[in-house]
Amino acid sequence: MSPERVLVVVAHPDDPEFLFGGTIARLVADGADVRYLVCSDGRLGADDPSLPTAGLVATRRAEQHAAAAVLGVREVRWLGLPDGELAPTLDLRAAIAREIERFGPDLVITHYPRRALAIAIEASHPDHVAVGETALSAAWGAGSELWVAGYEAADHAVDVSDFVERKERALLCHASQLGGGGVPEWTRHEMAAAGGRAGCRYAEEFVRQPPMAVGWRGW
Ligand SMILES: [Zn+2]
């Protein structure tokens, strides 16, 4: 059965599109109501640190809403925390848990929840690690299926071959993050490599955890 309500919990504006844009487009095409929760305000996403923070935050917010619209996402909500300062705190867990409670997703998609030592350190942005861990803790017991970006031990591939153009159109909305260029080539390379492993042209990979067993009460 395909998911009906999907909550995407990420650290920064542009993370949903870079990490799972094809999957989001496909879930929407399959009829899902997909929504985003973006934890930080993206204020560090500038090549020129002298730029005023407020302007960049507003730009990135507008870019994220435009990108989400391209993918058919129905709502983008923001926690507005300072970019670069996310940590797996109880406050962050409570804020994410409130969104899970409010929306009642049957699928939560988020970052890989720990440092991926087997691959380049770029994949382990501290904000991403913090949000992945905290989102999984917030979703504990909520009955949602969980997919995290499959940096290590991926066991679930989504065939996004028909959704690559849409993903790239969404990525182009994040103009402030593209350095005046187009969509970085690595995005297609990664999807092609994942597709090679999955037996299709382009794929995005996840580690999947099924929902907790019904009636499970813990110890
Ligand atoms: Zn990010």
Banded model confidence at residue 118, pLDDT cuts 50, 70, 90: confident
Per-residue pLDDT tens over the stretch 96-114: 999 999 999 999 999 999 9
Bridge partners, residue 148, by sequence: 110, 207
48-71: average pLDDT? 90
Cα 215 to ligand 1 centroid, rounded to whole Å: 36
124 C-alpha to center of ligand 1: Å?
10
User: Going by C-beta distance under 8 Å and a sequence separation of 6 or more, which residues neighbour residue 172?
Assistant: 178, 182, 183
| 122 CA to centre of ligand 1 in angstroms | 10
pLDDT at 85: 97
Q: What is the DSSP string of 16-34?
A: HHHHHHHHHHHHHHTT-EE
pLDDT reported for residue 54: 86
Place of tokens 């909305």: 173
- The pLDDT value recorded for residue 1 is 64
pLDDT in tens, 182-200: 999 999 999 999 999 999 9
Distance of CA 114 to the CA centre of its chain: 15
pLDDT at 88: 97
